């Protein structure tokens, strides 16, 4: 296990502990802490205490909790923590379309928006082989908007199972985000729920479901990366929900 936020306790249960901070974020936390210390040394506590809050926020932003991923080859697992903001039928992105990708027919896209308070480590929805990783530079408009899928900086990842089923998902930068950091490359073998990358400071992840598969999440629902089941492959029965 990559970190030990959840550890075995006496009696065979699990024990909670604070999440680790991903190495990608430690340098930002160190910079914030150094600036905070300097401000206090200069005798500006009125500015130093807000910077203490900023340092704590940076540590929290890059937290990397352990997740318990259900083991079932038919499940599509949420790749991101956040809010389900869009469920639409759309053509696949051209970078993942075609016979070697997701095809040309419209498919259901589930969009998960991550605020600056959510965990920003992203995970793969299924097990398989990473077939392609395509980075596209772009704008930094609000990631909650539909057009962010086509206009913003983004990274498309296509994963293929041993039986040929393919799932595509896209990391999309937002208003504040300025870098998408990949952890995988084409040819890598990944397990469902495995960490595949992160997006700095607010963003969105789109998941494209295969034909005949409907989402098991509803608009306004919160998902947990690596844990929440967003679909069952081949299950065409969707869900209805209500905000309350």
State the catalytic residues: 203
Contact between residue 128 and residue 160 where contact means Cβ atoms under 8 Å apart: yes
CA distance 209 to 143: 20
- Show Cβ contacts of residue 197 under 8 Å, excluding neighbours closer than 6 positions: 121, 122, 155, 157, 171, 180, 181, 182, 183, 184
CA distance 204 to 72: 25
Question: From the CA atom positions of the chain, what is the Rg in Å?
Answer: 19
94 secondary structure, DSSP code: G
CA distance 171 to 160: 17
């Amino acid at each position: 296990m990559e970190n030990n936020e959840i550890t075995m306790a006496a009696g065979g249960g699990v024990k909670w502990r604070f999440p680790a901070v991903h190495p990608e974020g430690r340098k930002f936390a160190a910079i914030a802490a150094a600036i905070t210390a300097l401000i206090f040394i200069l005798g500006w506590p009125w500015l130093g205490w807000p910077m203490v809050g900023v340092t704590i926020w940076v540590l929290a932003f890059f937290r990397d909790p352990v997740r318990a991923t259900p083991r079932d080859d038919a499940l599509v697992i949420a790749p991101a923590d956040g809010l389900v903001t869009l469920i639409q039928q759309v053509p696949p992105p051209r970078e993942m379309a075609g016979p070697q990708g997701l095809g040309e027919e419209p498919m259901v896209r589930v969009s998960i928006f991550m605020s600056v308070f959510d965990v920003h480590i992203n995970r793969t929805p299924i097990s398989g082989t990473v077939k392609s990783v395509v980075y596209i530079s772009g704008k930094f408009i609000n990631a909650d908007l539909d057009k962010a899928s086509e206009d913003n900086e983004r990274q498309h990842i296509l994963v293929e199972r041993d039986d040929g089923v393919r799932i595509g998902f896209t990391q999309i930068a937002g208003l504040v985000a300025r870098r998408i950091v990949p952890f995988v490359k084409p040819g890598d073998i990944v397990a469902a729920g495995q960490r595949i990358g992160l997006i700095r400071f607010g963003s969105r992840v789109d998941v494209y479901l295969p034909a005949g598969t409907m989402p098991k999440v509803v608009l306004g629902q919160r998902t947990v990366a690596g844990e929440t089941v967003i679909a069952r492959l081949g299950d065409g029965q969707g869900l209805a929900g209500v905000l309350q």
